[in-house]
Amino acid sequence: MTEQLNILILSCGTRNKILQYFKKELDGNGLVYAADTSELAPALYEADEHFIIPRLDEENYLDSILSICKENNIKAVLSLIDPELNVLAKHKDDFLNIGTLPIVSDKEAVELSFDKYKMFKFLETNGYNTVKSYIDKEEFYKDIEYGVIDYPVFVKPVKGSASINISKVTSKEEVDLLFNRFDNLMIQEFVDGPELGADVYIDMISGETVAIFTKEKIKMKAGETDKSVSFKEYELFELISRFCEEAGFKGIVDVDVFKVKGEYYISEVNPRFGGGYPHAYECGVNVPELIINNIKRKSNEGNVGNFEAGVHMLKFNEIMIMNKDNHILD
C-alpha cells in the first residue's frame, strides 16, 4: 500500500495556485491541507481540508500546528509567509519528532535571509556583487561626501518583507526624518538595471541545487512579481547555485538579482515560494514534485535550467463568492 503523503500549507492566503500544484502532483497519494488565520483566505478552499489557526503571536499557535500535523498524519509542512519560517526552522525537531518534515532552511540561513544588513555583509565578505547598504547613516553621509554613493537611495527596515515601508529618498533631510521616526532602518543603494528573480530548489537530502528558474520582472505589485519573462544565462545559474549552497539554504528559495552593466548583483532572498513561482511551474520547473520526492526520502537529480526562455507570465484577477455559512457559490 502506498504511503499517504499529506502536506500542510500554512498562511495560504491568496496563493491558490500552490495548492493546486501540490494536489496535481500528489495525484491522490495524499491530501493537501491548508491553514490560515482568516476564514476569508480564498486559497483555503482549494485544499482537501482546511483549518483556521491562531495568529503567530498567540500563545497556542505552535501547539495548534503540531496538533494538526499529529492528528492528520502530516508528512510535510511549509509556509508561504516570512514570519512563520522562523518558527518552523526554530522548532524543526518538534515537527520531526512527530513525523512531519518542515520544508524550510535551517534556522541560521532563515535568520540570515531576514536580516537585510547581515545578508549584505555575508555577500560582501564572500565576494559576491551586492547592493551597497548602511545601518550607520553617518557612514553613509561620509560616502556621499566622497562620491562613493549618491542619491536617490532606498530607506527600508532591516527586517521586513513584501516591500512594506520602503521609501525612495533624494536628500539628507529625508534620511534624517525617517531615521528619527523609525528604528532599525537601513539605507540601500539605488540600482539602475533590470530586476531579475530566481526560483531555486536545493535538495533537502543532498544539499545540492537541483533546479533554477530565472525570469526578468516586467512589473511588480505589492512586492510580488505581476508580469515576467523567462530567460537563461548559465553564468547566473552557477552564481545562484554557489551562493545558495554556501549560505546553507535548503528547499525552495526565491532570490532577487539585479543586472548592472553586465554584472549580476544578488539583492535579497526569501526562503519560501515566491509570488512569481507559478511562472516556473508552468514552464516545467516542478518544485512540488521535488518536495514530494524529498518527503519520500528520495534525493533529486540536478536539472538546472530545464525550461524554455522567452515565456511570459501575466497575472490577472479572479473572484470567489461565499454565502454567510462560508459555502462557495458557483
Query: Residue 16: which CATH number?
Result: 3.40.50.20
Residue 43 · residue 36 · CB < 8 Å: yes
DSSP letter assigned to residue 130: B
Does 199 have pLDDT greater than 70?
A: yes
Strand partners, 6: 74
Task: Assess whether 179 and 220 both reside in one domain.
Answer: no
Give the CATH number of the domain where residue 149 resides: 3.30.1490.20
Domain that holds residue 161: 132-189
Task: Assess whether 215 and 306 both reside in one domain.
Answer: yes
Task: Assess whether 197 and 183 both reside in one domain.
Answer: no
What's the domain count of the chain? 3
| pLDDT of the residue at 164 | 62
User: For the whole model, what pTM was predicted?
Assistant: 0.93
Q: Name the average pLDDT for the chain.
A: 94
Q: Is there a domain that residue 85 lies in?
A: yes
| pLDDT of the residue at 161 | 61
Residue 62 · residue 83 · CB < 8 Å: no
Q: Rounded CA gap, 33 and 14, in Å?
A: 15
Q: Is there a domain that residue 324 lies in?
A: no
Task: Assess whether 292 and 235 both reside in one domain.
Answer: yes
Give the CATH number of the domain where residue 228 resides: 3.30.470.20
Count CA atoms within 13 Å of residue 195 on its CB side. 17
What would the pLDDT profile of 259-301 be if each residue is shown by its tens digit? Answer: 999 999 999 999 999 999 999 999 999 999 999 999 999 999 9
Give residue 116's Cα distance to chain centre. Answer: 14
- Cell digits of residue 137: 547613516
Burial 225-258 (b: 16+ CB within 10 A, else e): bbbbebbbeeebbebbbebbeebebbbbbbbbbb
Does 222 have pLDDT greater than 80?
A: no
Q: Is there a domain that residue 246 lies in?
A: yes
Q: Is there a domain that residue 276 lies in?
A: yes
- Cell digits of residue 145: 561626501
Domain boundary residue, one of 189, 222, 237: 189
- What is the mean pLDDT of the segment spanning 127-147? 95
Task: Assess whether 209 and 283 both reside in one domain.
Answer: yes
Task: Assess whether 160 and 222 both reside in one domain.
Answer: no
- Cell digits of residue 120: 549584505
Residue 209 · residue 240 · CB < 8 Å: yes
Task: Assess whether 310 and 204 both reside in one domain.
Answer: yes
